[in-house]
Amino acid sequence: MSALFEPLVLRELTIPNRVWMAAMCMYSAAPDGPEVGAATDFHLAHYAARAAGGAGLVITEATAVRPEGRISPWDLGLWTDRQQEQAARVAALITSLGAVPAVQLAHAGRKAGTDRPWLGGKPLPAGSVGGRPVGPSAVGFSDEHVQPHELTVEEIREVVEAFAASARRALAAGFKTVEVHGAHGYLIHSFLSPHSNHRTDGYGGDFAGRARLALEVTDAVRAVWPAELPVLFRVSATDWLEPEVPGWTSEETVRLAKELQARGVDLIDVSTGGNVADARIPAAPGFQVPFATEIRNGTGLPTGAVGLITEPAQAERILTEGAADVVLLGRALLADPYWPQRAARELGAETRYPVQHAYTMRRR
């Protein structure tokens, strides 16, 4: 059997294969009104296509736990009953098509409140997502971004509680996996990195202080998530800064992963970058895979590899060489929702189709 199409068991959840859909923002929810942050017909069609195409796990886009935590006003959220109702439709549809539904919970922090990328993605005026952007310190992501409000300790507690509340809603909506978004310069990552976290209290300074929010959020989510279901954590393994410049590093990522493992995280979804506006990132096919390997070897935790993974043979090799345990595809699945089925044919594995498709294809 192809390694890419072997099931993966995390706790008591069996995921049918190791081709997973990475979370990708679609900027297609209502920005305000009674439908604010709720999934639309677009989202139903978008996620259904990838589930029908054979992805084993489908992770919905970064879903904000608070209004001001949205990357853009058009992001999904999970803090209202209406959002939960529509999320339940998404989860049920993914499940009906043979994939496992997962939700990525997020807070955009100091990168909140930007325009849709096809309109330039520039920062919008302060308050465009219901409040001023927030961060560990009053340090903007770039000169264009609004200077964030430095969170107080009480406000940090409210953020932690918001993650737990959204996790409860996700569970009630039928999701089987939750991923904490701790990457790409959003709130949790900005606390982790000394590049953006200049605090001198218990949430800043040394590794323990900078990692405190990530661990408190993880504890809060794990406490409300069933013991038999997995929790994932997405991390940026490096800020891509020169060694002499303070930033988040792969060594600290391994250290964080050990702490997350002790708190019940079941898989680390390994990306990089996003916290430094002008970082030089050496993008190339599979360029982020070594970070997944470093974490896997340093902790024993399963890891997911991402980034310019485009061909079935390339993905298969990542798994057979022990570089990671799953691959998460983004643009490859946008370009071809049926990439997993094509990969199965190329690798000699059994293809998985929705029963409606399989029945029709067998007919002569």
In terms of C-beta distances under 8 Å and separation of at least 24 residues, what long-range contacts does 27-32 make, across chains too? 27/72, 27/74, 27/75, 27/116, 27/117, 28/74, 29/74, 29/75, 29/76, 29/77, 30/74, 31/72, 31/73, 31/74, 32/73
Q: What is the CATH number of domain 3-362?
A: 3.20.20.70
Give the pLDDT band (50/70/90) at residue 241.
very high
Per DSSP, what are the bridge partners of residue 350? Answer: none
| Alpha-carbon gap, residue 32 to 297, rounded angstroms | 45
> How many other CB atoms are found less than 10 A from the CB of residue 300?
10
Instruction: Check 186, 203, 338, 359 and give the catalytic one.
Output: 186
The candidate with the shortest Cα–Cα distance to 91, out of 65, 124, 59, is 59
Q: What is the pLDDT of residues 250-290, one digit of tens each?
A: 999 999 999 999 999 999 999 999 999 999 999 999 999 99
Query: Active-site residue 186, yes or no?
Result: yes
Q: What is the pLDDT of residues 53-112, one digit of tens each?
A: 999 999 999 999 999 999 999 999 999 999 999 999 999 999 999 999 999 999 999 999
With pLDDT > 90 as the criterion, what percentage of the chain qualifies? Answer: 92
- Displacement of CA 222 from its chain's centroid (Å): 16
Q: Domain spans of the chain?
A: 3-362
Calculate helix-pair angle for 289-299, 250-262, nearest 10 degrees.
50
Q: Over 80: is that where the pLDDT of 360 sits?
A: no
With pLDDT > 70 as the criterion, what percentage of the chain qualifies? Answer: 99
Which residues neighbour 133 within 8 Å (Cβ) at sequence distance 6 or greater?
Answer: 68, 108, 109, 110, 111, 112, 113, 126, 145, 146, 148, 149
Phi, psi of 221 (to 5 degrees): -70, -45
Rg (CA), the chain: 19
Q: Are 95 and 105 in contact (CB under 8 A)?
A: no
pTM > 0.75: yes or no: yes
